[in-house]
């Protein structure tokens, strides 16, 4: 049988879905038509969730979804639906949780089998085409699932029902006294035992950046003067940013390292990872002023502004792990290639510093990693010139694909990072780039009720918006308010925070749902409280509520923050490493440092250069009033100061 080589993904905008539009599998997007077809035909749904930069998603596509025999099985036995997890993080979260409840590790590609009513009953991640590595072959899985649906449906449904109940069940929260800041240092010191003392990061492999966790360790180290906490962060940054997970030629961080040495990355570059590493690096640099950290901040931002700017100045989502030469070929080298591009002296120095040998350090090629620390200035200049030559040569290679869809929440994260970096380094060009991206989201991605669309590509905006979009863009607006003094940004943040209250708030049990209250196509309303690859939306929203209270003085924001903290608080003691976004909100609510500056550019620079964990800056321009600063903390405001040294003493 000859299968048609197009399907219903042709008209979708997602680059990931487009990668599958010519599969012989009759993929459909997640929409009313596909879901109704499953009901009409009484067929289970094969749900496949992935994203454009995912290496193993590509592997499974080539092995199984492009195989006519496997495609024939899928088309006959199931209603196949493809979902881009970046476009529909809500669906991904639901079915990842379902897979975890089945006792399996999650990840991508996510392969789930659902009833026509979208209830999960079996699943996994990557399945090979034939049995391999202890996994059944995908054709075997398809036949077994179909047989169970046809011949043992009652048993299957009886097992699926309690799974659905658990999926909808909220985590138990033990009542306790309201959370305080006192235990945070103790929690942080316990976490240091899990940090690799030699290479940084959490012990073992694979190694993820875990920026939120190390941000918390740094904050606690800064507040308590705890060198052990700060050293754990510095060791992590040193090895991570010198390792193969960092792109030494083009800038930017890969998603994670497959080993404990930070050598071999999963080569995709995600916007959100780089936004979070910028946040951490800025806070660290404000404390130690190391040129190494400043260089990395500038290099990451150069990469972002060079390669990730998309429609209307907003930022694209990802760069693929694969390219025409295979996974990582774009980023890796042979010694012969480097020797042919550099003169003998430069090649020898570069090779000794960046682990370049004839045999390579990964599959016969070399992943660049910096082995030697700072060298004399003349040698560093040789390395800089060599990097420039190699970068220019690399630019001629076939590039990894870019997923250029715009995600509101990820953009909010990068906008906030750029605003903070521009403020700290007095780089107005970085702040303007943040403002342009912010304007793109605000102008082109609004939904009814002051909500935001989650994704946009080629001018087409999704009808779906999630809590993360409102929380992250409100957070970005508040940072832009702080660094520019423009009250419009704070007003936007208030509107988006109000939209979260109206559309996502669980009035009865507290907390905020990821989906809006009337979402039509989901089986469970989840509340994101644990940080994963990105910060939890409820934690970010707590930060927003707390800052709005400090900025406006309006009691409704304090009430919203306090109620949300009442929901989150009981989970904090046992989930410290996984709720660091909530801990930032806790600090902002319980111990904010409000700094009000009138007509004081020199005073503003003092604030920009001072590391503070719960700063809220309010700038006011009043032409007839002298330059002055007020610092308020613990319900008490200082005497006004006009000298920079006096302000610096108040802040340190």
Q: What is the CATH number of the domain that holds 31?
A: 3.40.30.10
User: Which position has the token pair 């509107």?
Assistant: 495
Residues 635 and 569 in one domain: no
For the record, the structure tokens of 569 come out as 């608080």
Residue 119 within a domain = yes
Q: Based on the domain organization, do 436 and 384 belong to the same domain?
A: no
Residue 192 in domain: no
37 lies in the same domain as 111:
yes
In a domain, residue 246? The reply is no
Question: Same structural domain for residues 518 and 611?
Answer: no
Q: For position 279, what pLDDT does the model report? A: 98
Same domain assignment for residues 517 and 463 = yes
The count of other CB atoms within 10 Å of the CB of residue 201 is 29
- Per-residue 3-state assignment (H helix, E strand, C coil) for 605-650: HHHHHCCCCCEEEEEECCCCCCCEEEEEECCEECCCECCHHHHHHH
Tokens 């809220």 correspond to what residue? 616
Same-domain check for residues 559 and 476: yes
Question: What pLDDT score does 177 carry?
Answer: 79
The number of distinct structural domains making up the chain is 4
Decide if 402 contacts 319 (C-beta within 8 A): yes
Contact at 8 Å (CB) between 217 and 209?
A: no
As given in the structure block, the two tokens for residue 350 are: 């570069």
Domain boundary, last residue among 554, 569, 588: 588
Regions in the chain scoring below 50 on pLDDT: 1-4
Domain that holds residue 388: 329-394
Q: Which residues lie across from 266 on neighbouring strands?
A: 256
**435 and 567 inside one domain:** yes
Whether residue 482 contacts residue 617, with contact meaning beta carbons closer than 8 Å, is answered with: yes
Q: What is the pTM assigned to this prediction?
A: 0.95
CATH of the domain at 506: 1.50.10.20
> 3-state DSSP call for residue 373?
coil
pLDDT at residue 1, rounded to an integer: 45
Q: Does some domain include residue 231? A: no
**Same-domain status, 636 and 531:** no
Asked if residue 306 is part of any domain, the answer here is no
Same domain, 30 and 111: yes
- Let me know if residue 249 belongs to a domain: no
Question: How many residues does this entry show for the chain?
Answer: 652
**In 3D, which of 372, 302, 301, 368 has the Cα closest to residue 330?**
368
Cα–Cα distance measured from residue 52 to residue 122, given in angstroms and rounded to the nearest whole number: 24
CA dist., res. 492 & res. 485, Å (int): 13
Residue 423 in domain: no
Burial class (CB in 10 A: 0-12, 13-18, 19+), 3: middle
**Are 566 and 633 in the same domain?**
no
Tell me which residue of 359, 338, 337 sits closest to 349, measured CA to CA: 338
Q: Which of these three, 168, 184, 218, is where a domain ends? A: 168
- Give yes or no: residues 31 and 142 share one domain: yes
- Asked if the structure places residue 548 within a domain, the reply is yes
Q: Do residue 515 and residue 487 come from a single domain? A: yes
């Amino acid at each position: 049988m000859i299968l048609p080589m197009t399907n219903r993904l042709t008209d979708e905008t997602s680059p990931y879905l487009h990668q599958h539009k010519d599969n012989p599998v009759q993929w459909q997007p997640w929409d009313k038509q596909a879901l109704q077809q499953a009901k009409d035909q009484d067929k289970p749904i094969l749900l496949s969730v992935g994203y454009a930069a995912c290496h193993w998603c590509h592997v499974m596509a080539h092995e199984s979804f492009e195989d006519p025999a496997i495609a024939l099985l899928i088309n006959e036995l199931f209603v196949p639906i493809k979902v881009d997890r970046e476009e529909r993080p809500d669906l991904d979260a639901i079915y990842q949780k379902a897979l975890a409840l089945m006792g399996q590790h999650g990840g991508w590609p996510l392969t789930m089998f659902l009833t026509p009513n979208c209830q999960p009953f079996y699943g996994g991640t990557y399945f090979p085409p034939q049995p391999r590595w202890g996994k059944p072959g995908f054709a075997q899985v398809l036949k077994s699932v179909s047989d169970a649906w046809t011949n043992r449906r009652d048993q299957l449904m009886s097992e699926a029902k309690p799974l659905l109940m658990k999926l909808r069940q909220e985590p138990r929260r033990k009542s306790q006294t309201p959370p305080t800041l006192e235990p945070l240092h103790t929690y942080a010191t316990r976490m240091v035992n899990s940090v690799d003392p030699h290479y940084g990061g959490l012990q073992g492999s694979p190694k993820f950046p875990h920026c939120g966790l190390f941000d918390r360790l740094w904050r606690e180290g800064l507040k308590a003067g705890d060198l052990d906490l700060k050293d754990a962060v510095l060791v992590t940054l040193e090895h991570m940013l010198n390792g193969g997970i960092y792109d030494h030629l083009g800038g930017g961080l890969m998603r994670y390292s497959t080993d404990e040495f930070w050598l071999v990355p999963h080569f995709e570059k995600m916007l959100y990872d780089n936004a979070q590493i910028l946040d951490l690096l800025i806070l660290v640099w404000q404390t130690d002023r190391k040129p190494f950290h400043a260089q990395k901040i500038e290099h990451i931002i150069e990469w972002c502004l060079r390669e990730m700017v998309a429609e209307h100045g907003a930022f694209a989502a990802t760069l693929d792990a694969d390219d025409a030469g295979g996974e990582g070929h774009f980023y890796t080298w042979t010694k012969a290639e480097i020797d042919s591009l550099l003169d003998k002296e430069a090649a020898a120095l570069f090779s000794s510093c960046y682990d370049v040998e004839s045999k390579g350090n990964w599959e016969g090629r070399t992943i660049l990693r910096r082995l030697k620390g700072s060298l004399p200035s003349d040698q560093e200049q040789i390395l800089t010139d060599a990097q420039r030559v190699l970068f220019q040569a690399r630019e001629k290679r076939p590039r990894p694909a870019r997923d250029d869809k715009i995600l509101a929440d990820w953009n909010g994260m990068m906008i906030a990072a750029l605003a903070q970096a521009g403020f700290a380094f007095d780089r107005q060009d970085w702040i303007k780039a943040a403002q342009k991206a912010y304007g793109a989201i605000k102008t082109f991605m609004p939904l009814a009720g002051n909500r935001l669309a989650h994704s946009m590509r080629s001018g087409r905006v999704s009808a779906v918006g999630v809590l993360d979009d409102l929380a992250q863009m409100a957070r970005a607006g508040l940072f832009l308010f702080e660094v520019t003094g423009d009250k419009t940004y704070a007003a936007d943040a208030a509107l988006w925070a109000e939209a979260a209250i109206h559309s996502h708030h669980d009035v009865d049990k507290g907390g905020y749902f990821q989906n809006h209250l009337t979402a039509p196509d989901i089986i469970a309303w989840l509340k994101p409280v644990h940080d994963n690859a990105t910060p939890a939306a409820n934690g970010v929203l707590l930060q927003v509520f707390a800052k709005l209270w400090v900025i406006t003085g309006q009691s409704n924001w304090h009430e919203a923050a306090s109620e949300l903290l009442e929901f989150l608080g009981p989970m904090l003691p046992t989930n410290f490493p996984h709720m660091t976004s909530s801990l930032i909100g806790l600090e902002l609510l319980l111990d904010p440092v409000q700094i009000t500056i009138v007509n004081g550019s020199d005073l503003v620079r003092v604030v920009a250069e001072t590391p503070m964990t719960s700063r809220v800056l309010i700038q006011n321009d009043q032409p007839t009033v002298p330059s002055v600063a007020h610092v308020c903390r613990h319900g008490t405001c200082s005497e006004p100061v006009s000298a920079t040294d006096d302000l610096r003493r108040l802040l340190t």
